[in-house]
Amino acid sequence: MAGYEASEEDLALSPDALPPDAPAADSFVHSRLLDSVASFTHHRDIAALDHSLVLSLAELTAARRVVLAKRALDGAYVEAIMCCTPDAQGVYRLQADDPDAIDPALKLLHRCMHRLDVQTETVQGLHRLVVPILCDGRAIGALQLDSDLPPAASRSLTEGFARIYANYTVLLHESEHDKLTGLYNRRSLERQLQRLLHQHEQTLRVLPPARAVPGEPAAEPPQVWLAILDIDHFKRINDTYGHIYGDEVILLLAQQMRACFRRSDVLFRFGGEEFVILFGAASEGIVHAVLERFRQRIAEHVFPQVGSVTVSIGYAGVGRHDYPASALDRADKALYYAKQHGRNGTCGYESLSARGLLGREMAAGSIDLF
């Protein structure tokens, strides 16, 4: 926040927004600004920070719409769009939009991220201001304000918020991600799982009820799945080629995961040579096929110096009220089964237990639970 000072004009608060007994407009405006900054930097996860940023900005500027576009920290594509507009009662509502949809109202936003510079336009009396969110000389996102007031009224406030947001995002990103691979770390699992389950529940709510086609099974609703992936005989790789090559195998495997799974799938390095994947799929058959495809891809890949590397995978479905530790435990039992039965294989907890293959001896998997 150092170096940033918002003027009354920046805040664009209308005089009727002030309470009648306000001692001074200045101190009221500054305390609202400080409240907003304190509340959005209070969050410890990036999704909550995003929500708070757009809400604070919308409320402080009385904008008709605030949009936050976010790019991956290591990529040029837009990975999320968050939109905030007032409802009929004037209460600001948040909504996540499809980052791949082509929306002409976001044209300036893309230009701003490309040119790394503030963009403005006025169309039919609506003023649009777009400010880049910069980090190390590149745009990690942009903030767009659509307002009845000219851009000058909220420009320095928006730029100030963009700077605070950029700094804070980098800090949060470091605390949620694994240094070597850039994937999420173990600490993020619970939060990401809750987010995915919530998102999945919202999707179920808006889906029309499945229509049964005579003679065909009714389409199954999507479900959340958790898979654990472990490199086979990794100790041997370390012992034979040394830890530097071992680390390189971990890094290359993470790159293969990024290339193979969807952007909406959530990837973690869980520790050592263990990885976790969270994703949605309609049936166990689909999950199995997706994971098998990845397992085969790795088995066919030639790793520099090391050559062939294989992985074993265990997976399980996650229920709405599951504890992450229980889901992990089930997937780990399936992984353990895969390890015990020749490695370089993919096993699902549900089908193993339906076939009675998870006896008492499978009680303990290999993963350290929380």
Binding site for ligand GTP (CB under 6 A): 230-235, 238, 243, 246-247, 250, 272-273, 339, 343
Q: Report, in Å, the least distance between residue 179 CB and ligand GTP.
A: 10
Closest CA to 160 of 32, 51, 29, 53: 53
Q: Report, in Å, the least distance between residue 10 CB and ligand GTP.
A: 48
Q: Report, in Å, the least distance between residue 295 CB and ligand GTP.
A: 13
Q: Report, in Å, the least distance between residue 311 CB and ligand GTP.
A: 9
Nearer to ligand GTP, 197 or 309 (CB): 309
Residue 252 CB partners (closer than 8 Å, separation 6+): 301, 303, 304
Nearer to ligand GTP, 13 or 309 (CB): 309
Q: Report, in Å, the least distance between residue 271 CB and ligand GTP.
A: 7
Nearer to ligand GTP, 175 or 240 (CB): 240
Phi/psi at 235 (5° precision):
-60, -40
Cβ proximity of 191 and 275 under 8 Å = no
Q: Report, in Å, the least distance between residue 161 CB and ligand GTP.
A: 38
Measured distance CA(187)–CA(202) in Å, rounded: 25
Nearer to ligand GTP, 199 or 344 (CB): 344
Nearer to ligand GTP, 129 or 229 (CB): 229
Measured distance CA(5)–CA(14) in Å, rounded: 19
Give residue number: closest CB to ligand GTP.
246
Nearer to ligand GTP, 283 or 344 (CB): 344
- How does strand 311-318 pair with strand 346-348? parallel
Q: Report, in Å, the least distance between residue 330 CB and ligand GTP.
A: 18
Q: Report, in Å, the least distance between residue 342 CB and ligand GTP.
A: 11
Nearer to ligand GTP, 114 or 233 (CB): 233
Measured distance CA(335)–CA(230) in Å, rounded: 8
Measured distance CA(189)–CA(202) in Å, rounded: 20
Q: Report, in Å, the least distance between residue 329 CB and ligand GTP.
A: 17
Q: Report, in Å, the least distance between residue 273 CB and ligand GTP.
A: 5
Nearer to ligand GTP, 43 or 343 (CB): 343
Nearer to ligand GTP, 92 or 337 (CB): 337
Measured distance CA(29)–CA(6) in Å, rounded: 9
Measured distance CA(44)–CA(184) in Å, rounded: 15
Nearer to ligand GTP, 193 or 250 (CB): 250
